[in-house]
């Protein structure tokens, strides 16, 4: 159940329309979105008796952010983020995520919601429905697809510097920018997030998934990282952000290009795998149905 039965996409579209109009009328830079200002201004306008009154950082061990009801005797809500986070992109995305909770879930969770690191970086609906919805809202608010497509065409073979440009433009983390690209690209591509030599979770583009290129990680034994991959840390390359070609049998039955970033902020490894499109014999309908 969601407030006003609005979907995450509809809420984000409503705010995007307002931001587009404001930027046009005031000849103002459209990106990045100032979530702190939007959260307060929009909530006061939309729900004057139940607005967001405070957005601030605080010592918040084990959590990236949270939405909290005001103390007894006061009205409204507060968005709190972990002020130990050093990445502006990570903070901005956390704020947008919590704004999504305010718009979508506050009536169902009157005592508030606390969100950990995984809640911010996993967009899989199976991981948790309300976290998925908050992430969908945040992605649509901060990185509208019409603008993202202008930065990177859906048919383009990318490197991590191109994704990094988008992360800077929208003031989001690199992993958030990759996930958004994975959503719309027409290329066969897979994002793999790993730690300590094992895959934590992965996300395939539609084209990759339809050709049987994906990793099933839910309710299964951990999948080890291939020894011949960049993510394993056993091989190095000066071009690890641009990608190197890996032979068949490394990640998949066919060759692929791998780019990798070892993220100290999140304490995991981000790999982006790209494959040639439309290879003969790689479409497996049964896997898609599964």
What pLDDT does 266 receive? 66
What pLDDT does 233 receive? 87
Q: Output phi, psi for 132, to 5 deg.
A: -60, -45
What pLDDT does 3 receive? 43
**Which fold does the domain 3-142 belong to in CATH?**
Arc Repressor Mutant, subunit A (1.10.10)
Domain ranges across the chain: 3-142, 146-289
What residues contact 138, with CB distance under 8 A and at least 6 apart?
A: 93, 96, 97, 99, 100, 176
Q: What is the pLDDT of residues 137-158, one digit of tens each?
A: 999 999 999 999 999 999 999 9
C-alpha distances (whole Å) from 276 to each of 39, 96, 151, 187, 272 are 42, 35, 21, 8, 14
What pLDDT does 92 receive? 96
Query: Considering the entire predicted model, what is its pTM?
Result: 0.89
What pLDDT does 285 receive? 43
- 50-80 b/e with 16+ CB inside 10 Å = b? bbbbebeeeebeeebbbbbbbeeeeebbbbb
Q: What is the pLDDT of residues 20-53, one digit of tens each?
A: 999 999 988 999 999 999 999 999 999 999 999 9
pLDDT < 70 stretches in the chain:
1-4, 122-127, 264-266, 278-290
What pLDDT does 126 receive? 58
CA 166, 171, 173, 175 torsion: positive or negative? Answer: negative
């Amino acid at each position: 159940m969601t407030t006003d039965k609005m979907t995450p996409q509809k809420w984000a579209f409503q705010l995007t329309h307002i931001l587009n109009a404001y930027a046009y009328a005031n000849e103002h830079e459209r990106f990045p979105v100032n979530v702190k200002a939007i959260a307060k201004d929009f909530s006061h306008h939309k729900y004057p008796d139940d607005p967001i009154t405070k957005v601030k950082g605080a010592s918040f061990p084990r959590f990236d952010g949270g939405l909290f009801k005001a103390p007894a005797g006061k009205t409204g809500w507060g968005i709190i983020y972990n002020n130990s986070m050093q990445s502006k992109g990570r903070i901005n995305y956390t704020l947008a995520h919590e704004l999504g909770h305010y718009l979508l879930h506050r009536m169902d969770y009157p005592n508030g919601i606390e969100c950990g690191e995984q809640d911010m970086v996993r967009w899989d609906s199976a991981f948790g429905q309300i976290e998925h919805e908050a992430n969908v809202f945040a992605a649509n608010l901060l990185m509208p697809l019409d603008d993202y497509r202008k930065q990177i065409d859906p048919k383009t073979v990318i490197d991590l510097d191109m994704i990094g440009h988008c992360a800077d433009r929208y003031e989001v983390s690199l992993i958030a920018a990759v996930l958004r690209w994975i959503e719309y690209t027409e290329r066969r591509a897979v994002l793999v997030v790993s730690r300590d030599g094992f895959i934590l979770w992965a996300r395939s583009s539609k084209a990759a998934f339809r050709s049987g290129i994906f990793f099933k990680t839910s309710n299964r034994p951990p999948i080890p990282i291939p020894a011949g991959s960049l993510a394993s840390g056993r091989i190095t390359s000066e071009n690890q952000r641009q990608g190197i070609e890996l032979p068949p049998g490394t990640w998949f039955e066919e060759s692929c290009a791998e780019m990798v970033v070892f993220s100290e902020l999140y304490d995991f490894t981000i790999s982006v795998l790209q494959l040639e499109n439309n290879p003969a014999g790689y479409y497996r309908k049964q896997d898609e149905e599964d």
